[in-house]
Amino acid sequence: MAHNILNIAFVWNQHQPYYHDEQRGLFIMPWVRLHAAKDYYRMAALLEQHPEIKATFSLSPSLLDQLESYVRGQTPDLYLNVMKSARELDEREQSFLLRHYFEIQHERVISKYPFYWQLPERRGFAEPHAQELERARQRYTVQDYLDLQVWFNLVWIDPEIRRQDPFLRRLVRKGRNFSEMEKEEVVKYHFSLMEDVVPVHRRLQKKGQIEIITTAYYHPILPLLIVNYTALRATPGLPLPQRFTFPEDARIQVEMAVEQYRRHFNEEPTGFGRRKWLLVQRRFPCWAISVSAGRLQTRRSWPAHLTWRSTATVTAMCLTLKSSTSLIWFAGRERNYLFVFRDHHLSDRIGFVYQHMGADDAAADLVHRLQVIREKLEGCRGSYLVTIALDGENAWEWYAGEKNDFLHALYRSIADAPYLQTVTVSEYLAENPPKRRITHLTSGSWMDHNLARWIGTEQKNRLWNCLLETRWAVKAWADRNPETHKLKKALGSIYKAEGSDFTWWVDSMPYHLAAPLEVPFRQHLFNAYLAMDSKPPPFLCEPLIKAPPGEAWHKESVADIPVCMVPAWKDM
């Protein structure tokens, strides 16, 4: 019997919201820099050790934009501002270090390094209040603060890079009593790795080992920009804010992404990640990935006259026994577009399950599941694709060996497995054009099959209403002042505020984690009014989300995030 080869597409999504504070000329969050040092470069470079493995990387334009700003030396971040000489730190800066320089997974990362582990032990591991920080500050010497500065930035460098580099390896062994010169060198490594992010991706794409795709520029939920009442399709009765309907914003965010892609990679994008709308507006050949909860969303979209075949483990689509592919057409108004659907079960095992297993056992489990899928497809004619898609950054610090041990084991196992092969999505499409078509794709997302993670709670809706009020103000101003530089700046601030992370965090995560993302959201809206020489409304000068009972509100200080990014109008 001839055996079917099962094709596997890994799609690693890399993105960050836009953290830039235009008033002070810095990024209020360091996550672009830190994830570049730990993940963005290494996730691609690791493939150079596994030339048999192919993958697809989704690089959001807002991420690339911020990386470029770092590399050009145009913009520091707030966390770098406290990397001055430890002797020169004032009390507020010391408090900032004690609050924020342990922001990495404690048990999996910090606990591996005894001298680093001693530093948060003196402060306490719970989220500290201001009075607790003041008491804790007295327990640290100047050398302790210097060691903390080095350790935080050191552990945010990929562990395999640390093991391979003699200087970084020596610092890990040394453990304490670091020098100011050693601290400066660690920060230089961050910038060197940021500089290499785009070149390593470009090099691998040129070799044909990876494919690079893009997203809408500031990573919004495009259906909610077109009309936010789209959320009712998956969740009837969801309480919604006022009606937001600006399809032109969605279209422009896509067009901006395409233009940036051309600039970085000297060609047209072949794929569009995570957001699956408005492609009918474009004229370039393109496929898109739906990261929606694969099987359920696909079945809701499925034409009644076609057969749906699935099992508990097979979430790739088998159209019919006569089908030649697991991909489909989506029939747009002007042309057809290709969609692949994420296998949410396998993707979520990487994101949330395998962190609790050893690297070899986790890799063996995933390969076994892929082999089971392949076996269940025996007898089905044609070629099939399993798409495993997830964030390429957030899961790894929860793994005992970070990403390297697991991915090395996984890539080796797939390369050695009979009848399994990895492909880029475009490569697969070129050889396996779809034969079936659907004309309707239901709304949904990878989380809970709906859009309720971005809209529908009191505080999420408050952000939407503030966005809408500001968007109306810009539209009214544009009617009087078309085609001006100020209008372009105002709209740019709106597009940044439309990023999906702002509403995602509110009411989805604890207050002390969500509050930092609410501040740049207000800042972007505030900047829209400044661009129009208009007085920002009072609601933008106060936090839009409330601390829960028993939890202190973050104060507007450099030692507490969110910092005072949005000044009162009277102070300007």
Could you write out the DSSP letters of every residue in 273-301? -S---SGGG--S--EEEE-S-HHHHHHHH
CATH 3.20.110.10 residue spans of the chain: 6-16+205-438
pLDDT greater than 70 at residue 167: yes
In sequence order, the 6+-apart residues with CB closer than 8 A to the CB of 484 are none
Q: What is the mean pLDDT of residues 432-442?
A: 74
Q: What is the mean pLDDT of residues 359-385?
A: 92
- pTM of the entire structure? 0.89
For residues 346 and 391, the answer to whether their CB atoms sit within 8 Å is: no
Residue 514 to residue 418: CA distance in whole angstroms: 46
Least confident of 135-139, 277-281, 427-431: 277-281
Q: Which residue has the higher pLDDT, 490 or 440?
A: 490
pLDDT-based confidence at residue 445 (cuts at 50, 70, 90): low
Q: What is the mean pLDDT of residues 6-34?
A: 92
pLDDT attached to residue 197? 98
3-state secondary structure of 196: helix
pLDDT-based confidence at residue 72 (cuts at 50, 70, 90): very high
For the segment 257-310, what is each residue's pLDDT rounded down to a tens digit? 999 999 999 998 888 775 444 444 444 447 888 655 444 444 555 444 433 333
Q: Which residue has the higher pLDDT, 561 or 111?
A: 111
pLDDT attached to residue 559? 30
Percent of residues, the chain, with pLDDT higher than 70:
83
pLDDT greater than 50 at residue 166: yes
In sequence order, the 6+-apart residues with CB closer than 8 A to the CB of 192 are none
pLDDT greater than 50 at residue 25: yes
pLDDT attached to residue 24? 81
For residues 61 and 260, the answer to whether their CB atoms sit within 8 Å is: yes
Residue 493 to residue 520: CA distance in whole angstroms: 10
For residues 8 and 58, the answer to whether their CB atoms sit within 8 Å is: no
Residue 212 to residue 237: CA distance in whole angstroms: 38
Determine the CATH number of domain 6-16+205-438: 3.20.110.10
Q: Which residue has the higher pLDDT, 130 or 523?
A: 523
pLDDT attached to residue 75? 85
pLDDT-based confidence at residue 331 (cuts at 50, 70, 90): low
Q: What is the mean pLDDT of residues 60-70?
A: 97
pLDDT greater than 70 at residue 446: no
pLDDT attached to residue 310? 37
Residue 221 to residue 250: CA distance in whole angstroms: 9
pLDDT greater than 60 at residue 375: yes
Lookup result for tokens 């470079």: 45
pLDDT attached to residue 552? 65
